[in-house]
Amino acid sequence: MHVLIMAATAMELNHQAGLIRSGQGLRISFLITGIGMVSTAYHLTRKIIEDRPNLAIQAGIGGVNDKGRISETYIIREDYFSDLGVLEKGQFKSLFEMGLAGADEFPFRQGKLPNPYLAEFPQIGLQKASGKTVNQISSGPVLEEENEILIESMEGAAFHYTCLLEKIPFLQIRAVSNLIGERDKSKWKMQESLTSLHEALQSVIENI
């Protein structure tokens, strides 16, 4: 089984985290895609063409809409392109709301990109959350989906989109380092979130 573990930055992907196992039929490769949706989609697609994996795992950090969740790690059950649309008279409208794309046209479901492969990994005990993917990191509080754990990244939806179209099972793992909209990095729990991420990633590898 070939498992591809990828991240936007080398900081998020610790090659010394004890992830590589010899034998047992498991081969692990690593990929640093760079930050953002375009870079993620390009480098992942190129990797798939060169050396197609049986499972793709995206590991990274992100912001969260609930400060009580900082340093926790989640599996993302669905993600979406949150700023793909138009800002008209101060109101944002998505491509789906404008009728420029079908909200249920594959790989979308109600305008989002769900992970249909999660049921194949019941042994992974991480909490689940929804994701939102942005080109520009939020600088203000999140007003949407306030009753649901929401994690913001700059790559997640591109990862889901590519894997869904290529029919590759995938897992997006996110550790939260800060509150969405909090730009004072002295308040971010970067090291704590990276430690949580690497521990979760190692546990996932051991249990697939």
pLDDT value at residue 22: 45
Instruction: Look at residues 30, 31, 35 and name the one whose alpha carbon lies nearest to residue 8.
Output: 35
Per domain, the residue ranges of the chain are 2-207
Place of tokens 């959350």: 129
| C-alpha triplet 189, 40, 122: angle, nearest 5° | 70
52-111 pLDDT, tens per residue?
999 999 999 999 888 778 889 999 999 999 999 988 888 889 989 989 999 999 999 999
Interval 109-146: pLDDT, tens:
999 999 999 999 988 889 999 999 998 776 665 555 55
**Site of tokens 């249920």:** 104
Superfamily in which the 2-207 domain is placed by CATH: Nucleoside phosphorylase domain (3.40.50.1580)
Across the chain, mean pLDDT equals 89
